[in-house]
Amino acid sequence: MYVPLIVDEKDDKWKLVKRILSIFDLRRTKQEMSKQGITPVNKGSYILKTVLLSMLFSLEISYAIEELKKREKLRNYLNIPSPPSKTQVYSFLSRFSPEDFLNMVLGLLNSICSPRRGRLALILIDSTDIQVNINWFKKKITKKDLEHREFKWGYSSSHGYYIGYKLTMALNKKNMKPLAFLLHEGSPHDSKLFEPILSELKRRRVIRTGDIVIFDKGYYSYENYVVGITKYKIVPLIFPKKRFSLKKLLGMIGYPLHIFFKKGLKKAKDIYKAILTKFLNLIDKWKSFKPVRSYIEDVFKVVKGTSPYKKIHRFTKKSVKKFMSLSVLLTGILISMGFQSKEELQRLSEW
């Protein structure tokens, strides 16, 4: 049974909830919502506030709606004068495709978080397991049973075997803003997810030539180093494994053939030389970047901590992607408020 949502204006949690949801009262946020096709804007903001309220207190959406309808003080405190119905909420959520929903979330984050400043960025990329709420202890579930389902069996080093998905996310280290994320069925090896997430960042035009992108050892492969430098023109700081041979890697790297068929050959060569030089300077110091990379693990804990369930009670890739988009949005809002240190992120994960 859920506890009633009784506002205590002196309580720090309620103060933070109000700050979070008041983001949707800002003019720039409403302008972005309108740009993303959320109309009427006020009704859309009430719906998003209601859904995030349910996530912040680990409640069912329907319960949060009932609490809003019966408690005038709660409505006034959160500025939701006209609470949506359950039908309106689910109709709103189903109106958008997963890709449209993700664009809406990233658009809102762009309007809320501070913009990228400076020519180069330090980007963190990592993956985590997303488990769906299936009790496979009660009934044995085989791979064959999941052949026609969108979720699959996976394995996580921290949680063991599970049924669900793998979430890959990219963050800008400077402002801790989520830049993009991908959802994969089961648990494909991280090394196979290297190019898909870089391709997504390039498609969204948030990655630039010369950016330093940090990956842990799970993404390690000689091919990934080569692809990062020659195809995406980034500095791929993938933490190496014991048998890593710099000599072998250098023997695999060469100028991409396509640059010889374009004007400005010397400039193109200079760009690749500069990237390779930066890579060689950093790969020897990769251990010093371990504390930096660990920030994304703390952000993942916050993303999962905003879920009303330890395991997600959604069973299609579309619904899981929308739900994770809202978790990323909520995390991005919290980070934009200044919760960026490791200690603050760890406290938020225990929300």
Q: What is the DSSP string of 85-110?
A: PHHHHHHHHHHS-HHHHHHHHHHHHH
Residue 317 and residue 169 share a domain: yes
- What is the reported pLDDT for 145? 77
95, 115, 133 - which closes a domain: 95
Residue 155 and residue 60 share a domain: no
- What is the reported pLDDT for 306? 66
Residue 197 and residue 217 share a domain: yes
Residue 135 and residue 57 share a domain: no
Task: Tell me the mean pLDDT per 10 residues along the chain, length 351.
Answer: 88 92 92 87 94 90 94 96 94 88 88 75 92 73 80 84 90 90 92 96 93 96 96 96 94 83 82 94 95 91 68 77 89 86 76 62
- What is the reported pLDDT for 308? 53
Distance, CA of 324 to CA of 41 (rounded, Å)? 22
Residue 108 and residue 4 share a domain: no
Q: Which of 36, 94, 86, 87 is nearest to 60 (CA)?
A: 86
Q: Which two tokens stand for residue 247?
A: 């000599």
Peptide bond into 98 cis (omega under 30): no
Q: Do the beta carbons of residue 234 and residue 211 sit within 8 Å?
A: yes
- What is the reported pLDDT for 147? 78
Number of domains, the chain: 2
Looking at residue 63, its amino acid is Y
Phi, psi of 213 (to 5 degrees): -120, 120
Residue 246 and residue 201 share a domain: yes
Phi, psi of 266 (to 5 degrees): -60, -40
Residue 105 and residue 83 share a domain: no
Residue 209 and residue 317 share a domain: yes
For the residues of 307-325, what is the DSSP string, one character each?
SSSSSB---SHHHHHHHHH
| Global confidence as pTM | 0.89
Residues sharing a CB contact under 8 Å with residue 236, sequence separation 6 or more, in sequence order = 213, 215, 224, 225, 227, 228, 229, 279
Question: Three-class SS of residue 210?
Answer: coil
| DSSP 8-state secondary structure symbol assigned to residue 125 | E
Residues sharing a CB contact under 8 Å with residue 278, sequence separation 6 or more, in sequence order = 210, 212, 235
95, 122, 153 - which closes a domain: 95
The sign of the torsion formed by the CA atoms of 160, 332, 119, 268 equals positive
Residue 329 and residue 218 share a domain: yes
**What range does the domain containing 54 cover?**
1-95
Q: Which two tokens stand for residue 175?
A: 């402002």
- What is the reported pLDDT for 1? 65
Q: Do the beta carbons of residue 195 and residue 219 sit within 8 Å?
A: no
Looking at residue 283, its amino acid is I
36, 62, 95 - which closes a domain: 95
- What is the reported pLDDT for 219? 97
Residue 247 and residue 314 share a domain: yes
Residue 86 and residue 10 share a domain: yes
For the residues of 151-187, what is the DSSP string, one character each?
-EEEEETTTEEEEEEEEEEEEETTTTEEEEEEEEES-
Question: Three-class SS of residue 27?
Answer: helix
- What is the reported pLDDT for 179? 93
Residue 106 and residue 52 share a domain: no
